[in-house]
Structure 1
Amino acid sequence: METTTPPRPGLREMKKRRTHDELLRAAVHLFTSQGYERTTVDEIAEAVDVSQRTFFRYFAGKEEAALALEGITVGRFVEGVRARPAHEAPMEALRQAVLEGWSSLSEAIESIASVELYLRMYRVIESTPVLLAAHLRRSAETEDAIARVLAEREGLDVDADPRPRLAVAVFGAVMRVTERQWSTGEDYSLEGMRELTSRHLDQVGPALLGGWRDEA
């Protein structure tokens, strides 16, 4: 009697992940080439040769697809902060999480889109009011989540002690400045982003506490 070999474990999950990534890749290409507002869900689905119904199995709508790459980076960063050694000071944990996270993150991002395309998508978000509003809302939620991680690491009550939120607010501002400069510069490499991030973080102390005028 002939037996049927069962499918490999995880095969369905792999197929779902592939469809998700193909839809996301198509969405990013369309958003960056013809604009967010001019792109329809039907166009994204047609680019992957699936139905609109299939698109909505993976994304609640265009906005979620537009912010998906950002969501990957944010999720990795939060997990990176949570995994930092307990002996590291809070700002050092944030610094190392973002600097060391770019290596593994590059694989996750570049499996879907090139770094240049990722940066072009970042500019689309900043120039599209509805996406920028959603981006800022998510940023606030992310900063709250990271502040809670830091407070837990330090044994603090995040709602009573302002230091975790202050540290995350300063760090988040540095990252926003860095991302904006990176996205408008000429060096699109991840190594360039790492160096720029490190350089800007090194300037936080002098910028906040030091004088800015030349003493010559």
Structure 2
Amino acid sequence: MTTAQQSAPSAPAGLRERKKRRTRDALLRAALVLFVSQGYEQTTVDEITEAVDVSQRTFFRYFANKEEAAFAVQDLVEQHFVAALRARPAAEGPLLAMRNAVLCSWATVGEAIAEMVPVDLYMRTYQLIESTPALLAVHLRRSTELEEKIARLIAEREGLDVEADPRPRVAVAAFSGVMRVTGRLWGQGEDTSVEAIRRLTERYLDQIAPALAADWR
């Protein structure tokens, strides 16, 4: 076979991966823009693919369904937090480790989000999740699953059996409750920046110990 008869060489693996990443990010941006502008339930997969000029088959190559697209950036945020928690010094107690991990992750996660979608678009999507019953139900289910994962990580850090000692799950429940409260309050406010939710989170996390005190007076 001559050189002319040979087929063109395939693109290098790195280039293929970059193209896949660009396509996935474009689909994700299009989906989130449509979700926040016209509503999650009102948006169809056809509209998302038309916005990017690709086929439905391409969409389902990257996302199992609309729900997976809606929570794609939230997945990244949660992974960022878990990684930050794993990296906290062993000397930090459970609540302090979780507090520092979430504040550190909020301080750095913006860059990671921006590589996928504009940060403002993610923040508006978070507000959409909190205000859309179908998405909020999924969010609460996912939060329960994340709480269990964190509780097991805390138990591992403390050298405890999570099935025999209730403290890891109790500590994580208190922490997660504060995170849900701050997320809801932030979503109802006028300042929807990352810094705003970070400040609110820090303020409320610092009240866990006083709130659990025996006497509030």
Taking structure 1 as the reference length, what is the TM-score of the superposition?
0.90
The verdict on how the C-alpha distance between 1:71 and 1:195 changes in structure 2, with shifts beyond 3 A counting, is: same
Counterpart in the other structure of 2:191: 187
Counterpart in the other structure of 2:165: 161
Counterpart in the other structure of 2:120: 116
The verdict on how the C-alpha distance between 1:56 and 1:7 changes in structure 2, with shifts beyond 3 A counting, is: closer
Q: How many residues align?
A: 212
Q: 1:190: Cα distance to partner?
A: 1.9
The verdict on how the C-alpha distance between 1:20 and 1:195 changes in structure 2, with shifts beyond 3 A counting, is: same
Spell out the pairing of 1:59-138 with structure 2 (5 A cutoff). 59-138=63-142
Structure 1: tracts of 5 or more residues without a match: none
Q: 1:5: Cα distance to partner?
A: 8.5
Which of 179, 202, 205 is equivalent to 1:175? 179
Alpha-carbon contact 2:24-2:62 (below 8 Å) kept: yes
Rounded to whole Å, the distance in 2 between the matches of 1:41 and 1:114 is: 21
One-letter code aligned to 2:57: R
Matched position secondary structure for 2:26:
helix
The C-alpha deviation readout for 1:118-177, integer Å capped at 9, x for no partner, is 232122222322211111111000000000111111111011100110111000011111
Rounded to whole Å, the distance in 2 between the matches of 1:162 and 1:92 is: 18
Alpha-carbon contact 1:77-1:98 (below 8 Å) kept: yes
Rounded to whole Å, the distance in 2 between the matches of 1:32 and 1:91 is: 34
Rounded to whole Å, the distance in 2 between the matches of 1:134 and 1:202 is: 28
Counterpart in the other structure of 1:207: 211
Alpha-carbon contact 2:130-2:136 (below 8 Å) kept: yes
Spell out the pairing of 1:18-29 with structure 2 (5 A cutoff). 18-29=22-33
Counterpart in the other structure of 1:32: 36
Matched position secondary structure for 2:172:
helix
Rounded to whole Å, the distance in 2 between the matches of 1:52 and 1:91 is: 45
Alpha-carbon contact 2:130-2:184 (below 8 Å) kept: no
Taking structure 2 as the reference length, what is the TM-score of the superposition?
0.90
> RMSD over aligned Cα, in angstroms?
2.0
Q: 1:103: Cα distance to partner?
A: 2.8
Matched position secondary structure for 2:163:
coil
Rounded to whole Å, the distance in 1 between the matches of 2:132 and 2:194 is: 25
